[in-house]
Structure 1
């Protein structure tokens, strides 16, 4: 397992944040860190402490490993988001994914 560089961490943080539709300000609030910290991390200006990584992972609702290694992809992210949904929303999401899957398999 290869650990990411600061630049890769910044890009991963930005990608996960945007995938969730969060602004830097919203992530900072959810993670209980400063907006400046989020900005500086995304721009690879410093290396975060373990505490900051933990807070960011919690704010993004991902395991810490998602921020520091390349062994976390869109499928893992989708599973985490799906598990976090309340039951009625989860059922809707699964039905929508099922429909997309059927449509995609018919066009392949």
Structure 2
């Protein structure tokens, strides 16, 4: 999953619009749209602002981007073992459920 897809999903889950998020991070709606559509990679400080507004730590955002297809074949077995535990940890820390955090 691309970072823009994750951000789009979190915007929706938080009940925000792209315009509202753009305003809160001091970016134009066009700039945010370019990030969401994958045309532009956000600068670290922009990503920090996005994470703050969406109330999600940056490492969680990165974890949400990982799919099994991203894992090298020789590491997939370990990934399959660790992924459920990591997700369970994320959900317990954030007091959320999988649908709210990862979908």
Give the TM-score, by structure 2 length. 0.59
Q: 1:54 aligns with which of 32, 48, 57?
A: 48
User: Aligned partners of 2:92, 2:21: CA distance in 1, in Å?
Assistant: 20
Uncovered stretches (5+) of structure 1, i.e. residues with no partner: 1-6, 81-108
Question: Is the CA contact (8 Å cut-off) linking 1:13 and 1:42 kept in structure 2?
Answer: yes
Give the TM-score, by structure 1 length. 0.57
Runs of 4+ residues over 6 Å off in structure 1:
none
User: Aligned partners of 1:23, 1:77: CA distance in 2, in Å?
Assistant: 26
Q: How many residues were matched structurally?
A: 74
User: Aligned partners of 1:43, 1:17: CA distance in 2, in Å?
Assistant: 14
Deviations 1:71-107 (A, max 9, x none): 7868369527xxxxxxxxxxxxxxxxxxxxxxxxxxx
Is 1:66 the counterpart of 2:60 in the alignment?
Answer: yes
Q: CA deviation at 1:56?
A: 0.6
> Alpha carbon RMSD of aligned pairs, Å?
2.7
Which SS does the other structure have where 1:69 is aligned?
helix
Looking at CA atoms only, which structure, 1 or 2, has the larger radius of gyration? 1
Q: CA deviation at 1:8?
A: 1.3
Q: CA deviation at 1:36?
A: 1.6
